[in-house]
């Protein structure tokens, strides 16, 4: 990432259950649209829309290095299906390939369910990928 402002905008988010059995198809853990809003240097803020499942707000930080690391927390929005959700995320902005063609910015990482909600237990970890939509 040449500029931390490259993070600003809409990202398609998909997370997957961590299952090492090669005979099973990947199981989706979550899917939504994450919008990072313009923020102060080194900080993240945004909105996470999981459609019918609910919405979260996110806040966090960018740690500069190679690659850049993003750490943020999502908290459910009152009045949506995600009201009780609290998840923590750590991700890495994938550098561009020198010889790459039509690359789309991507962030990969992991997510942990920080607090239980409904039948979902705290401590569950999944892997995620986000690709920039605009």
Mean pLDDT for each consecutive 10-residue tract of the chain (134 residues)?
70 96 93 96 95 96 92 97 96 93 95 95 97 91
Q: Which fold has domain 4-132?
A: Lipocalin (2.40.128)
What confidence score (pLDDT) does residue 1 get?
Answer: 45
Give the predicted TM-score (pTM) of the model: 0.92
Parse the chain into domains and list their residue ranges.
4-132
User: What is the signed CA dihedral for 74, 78, 81, 87, rounded to 10 degrees?
Assistant: 20
């Amino acid at each position: 990432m040449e500029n931390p402002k490259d993070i600003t905008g809409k990202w398609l988010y998909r997370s997957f259950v961590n299952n090492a059995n090669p005979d099973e198809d990947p199981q989706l853990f979550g899917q939504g649209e994450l919008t990072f809003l313009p923020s102060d240097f080194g900080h993240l803020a945004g909105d996470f829309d999981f459609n019918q499942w609910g919405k979260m707000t996110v806040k966090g930080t960018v740690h500069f290095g190679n690659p850049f690391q993003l750490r943020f927390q999502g908290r459910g929005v009152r009045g949506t299906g995600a009201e009780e959700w609290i998840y923590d995320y750590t991700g890495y902005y994938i550098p561009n390939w020198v010889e790459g063609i039509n690359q789309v910015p991507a962030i990969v990482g992991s997510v942990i369910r920080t607090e239980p909600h409904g039948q979902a237990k705290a401590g569950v970890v999944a892997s995620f990928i986000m690709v920039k939509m605009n």
